């Protein structure tokens, strides 16, 4: 289950934000998360503000029960501040199986200082957090883990466009694969809205199913 949590919440980029990747508008997206086809929890993103100043707030709640016994419990809240298409501040609080870890990031003299479980880490402005609501740059080669604040190496591959079922309708979406600790597939529609996620770990298949109107999502 520890690997599963890392896969869900590793960050997805550490290069200067590009025009095609940077967030630009407000909205709300909510997913139902399934594990081997069974309910696993929820993941929601609410973005407010306009123009060059946006605030993104995420809430994740995952749980696995075996009868009266809770085998896995994960909660995370994150608050992101974006200015001019770049992340300039971040606070995350993660509760995993009774242990809480906090991560805080702020812009300092043109860089992003991230204080997490391993102490201070420095990143360039434009680093993308693991909330996934905004598409990571294709040339990103490292990550910020929002659970720990640590850096991770990744490879991002554009898998092409696919027709997928979202909210009861078939749409054309771009598929991106992020390979780091695990291979995670992400889907974005033609406006850059996050519409899907899937990966497998230790025989468990995790799928995100959009539960809110696609038109209401941020891009």
What is residue 184's predicted lDDT score, i.e. its pLDDT?
92
Q: What is the mean pLDDT of each run of 10 residues along the chain (219 residues)?
A: 43 33 84 96 94 92 89 94 91 93 94 91 84 84 85 90 94 94 92 95 92 92
Q: By C-alpha distance, which of 100, 182, 183, 200 is closest to 147?
A: 100
What is residue 21's predicted lDDT score, i.e. its pLDDT?
61
What is residue 127's predicted lDDT score, i.e. its pLDDT?
82
Beta strands in the chain (DSSP E): 27-35, 38-50, 53-66, 69-83, 86-96, 99-108, 111-116, 119-124, 142-144, 151-153, 155-166, 169-179, 183-188, 194-201, 204-210
């Amino acid at each position: 289950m520890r690997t599963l949590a890392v896969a869900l919440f590793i960050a997805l980029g550490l290069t200067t934000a590009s025009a095609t990747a940077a967030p630009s508008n407000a909205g709300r997206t909510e997913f139902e998360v399934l594990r081997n086809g069974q309910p696993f929890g929820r993941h929601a993103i609410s973005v407010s503000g306009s123009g060059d100043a946006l605030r993104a707030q995420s809430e994740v709640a995952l749980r696995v029960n075996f009868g009266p016994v809770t085998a896995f419990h994960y909660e995370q809240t994150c608050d992101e501040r974006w200015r001019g298409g770049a992340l300039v501040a971040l606070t995350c609080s993660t509760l995993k199986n009774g242990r809480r870890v906090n991560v805080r990031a702020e812009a300092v003299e043109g860089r992003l200082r991230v204080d997490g479980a391993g102490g201070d880490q420095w990143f360039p402005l434009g680093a993308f957090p693991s909330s996934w609501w905004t598409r990571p740059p294709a040339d990103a080669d490292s990550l910020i883990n929002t659970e720990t604040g640590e850096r991770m190496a990744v490879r991002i591959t554009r898998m092409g466009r696919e027709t997928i079922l979202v909210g009861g309708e078939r749409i054309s979406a771009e598929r991106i694969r992020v390979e780091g600790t695990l291979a995670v597939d992400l889907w974005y529609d033609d406006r850059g809205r996050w519409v899907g996620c899937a990966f497998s770990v230790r025989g468990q298949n995790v799928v995100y199913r959009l539960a809110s109107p696609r038109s209401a999502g941020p891009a």
